[in-house]
Structure 1
Amino acid sequence: MQTCSECGQQKPDNEIQLGVCDNCFNHGPRGGSSRGQTQASNVILTTSIDVPNRQVERVISIIASEAALGMNIFRDIANTFRDLVGGRSDSSQKALKEARLACLDGLRREAVALGADAVIAVDLDYNQISTSGSGGGILFVAASGTAVKLAPL
C-alpha cells in the first residue's frame, strides 16, 4: 500500500504512479473539487514562443517539472523479450505517457503558483538510467518552459 501525495489516502501499489493515485491524477484531489486543479487546467501549454491570437504581457519565470519512474523487473523482462523479437513495448509506452503527463501537470501547477496564464516554449526531455545488477532502471522525464502572463482579451 502507498499513500497518495494529493488526497492522502492509502491505495494499492498498482493504483499509484509517481506518488499520485489514479483518481487524483484523472480528476484532481477530492474528485476534482480543488480550486487549484481547476486553475491549473486553464493554463495554456505550448511548444511555440507565443500563444496564437494572444499577446504576452510579461515573462514571469522559467519553470520546470521532473518525473522519475522506476521500471520494475517485470517490465524489464518484457522489454528484453521485445528487444529480441521486435515490436512495440506497451508497458514502456504506458510508463513514458504517465511520466510525460505528470511533468506537464507539474508545469501547470508551477504556473498557477506563480500567477501565470500560459507556459510557452515547453520542452520535454527523456532519459533512462539502467541500474546494473538490480534488474531495473529509472525513466526520467523533465519538462521546462517559460511562464508568462497574457494580456487580457
Structure 2
Amino acid sequence: MLVVTTEKIPGQEFEVLGLVKGSTIQCKNIGRDIGSSFKNLVGGEMKSYVEMMNQARDIAYERMVQDAARFPADAIVAMRFATSSIAQGAAEVMAYGTAVKFK
C-alpha cells in the first residue's frame, strides 16, 4: 500500500474513498517509569519512552493500513500522526489519512 503525506500523488488520478485510521495506547511498566523519572531530574533522552512511542507509531500505522484494506484502497494520502497523553506514562498515538482508489 502506498502511503504519502502529500494530498496528491504525481501522475496519479484517484477517487476518494474515505477516512482511515489506526490507534493504540501504550504505557511503560512501573519499573521503567521510575527509571525515567530519575532521568527527568538529571536531563537527557528518555530512551524507554522513545522506544515506546516508536512502537506505538508502528502499531497505529499498521492498523491504519489494515483499515484502508477494507475499501479496498490503492493508497493513503495526507497521512498524519497525532498523539495525546492519556495518563502519566501513557500515550495514545493515532495514524490517519484518506483512502483512495486509482482511476
* TM-score normalised over the length of structure 2: 0.91
1:103 Cα shift?
0.8
Give, in whole Å, the separation in 2 of the partners of 1:52 and 1:89: 39
Gaps (5+ residues) in structure 2? none
Give, in whole Å, the separation in 2 of the partners of 1:104 and 1:74: 28
Question: What letter is aligned with 2:60?
Answer: C
**1:76 aligns with one of 33, 54, 67:** 33
- Between Structure 1 and Structure 2, how many residues are aligned? 103
**1:55 aligns with one of 10, 13, 28:** 13
Aligned to 1:139: 91
Equivalent residue runs for 1:22-37 within 5 Å: none
Confirm whether residue 46 of structure 1 aligns to residue 34 of structure 2.
Answer: no
Aligned to 1:127: 84
CA contact (8 A) 2:17 2:71 kept: yes
Equivalent residue runs for 1:5-24 within 5 Å: none
Question: What letter is aligned with 2:94?
Answer: A
Give, in whole Å, the separation in 1 of the partners of 2:33 and 2:77: 35
Question: What letter is aligned with 2:96?
Answer: S
1:53 Cα shift?
2.8
Aligned to 1:23: none
Question: What letter is aligned with 1:112?
Answer: A
1:109 Cα shift?
0.8
Gaps (5+ residues) in structure 1? 1-42, 132-136
CA contact (8 A) 1:59 1:149 kept: yes
Question: What letter is aligned with 2:65?
Answer: R
Higher strand share: 2
Identity of aligned residues (%): 29
* TM-score normalised over the length of structure 1: 0.63
1:100 Cα shift?
0.2
Over the aligned positions, Cα root-mean-square deviation in angstroms equals 1.3
Looking at both structures, which has the greater relative contact order when contacts are Cα pairs under 8 Å and sequence separation is at least 6? 2
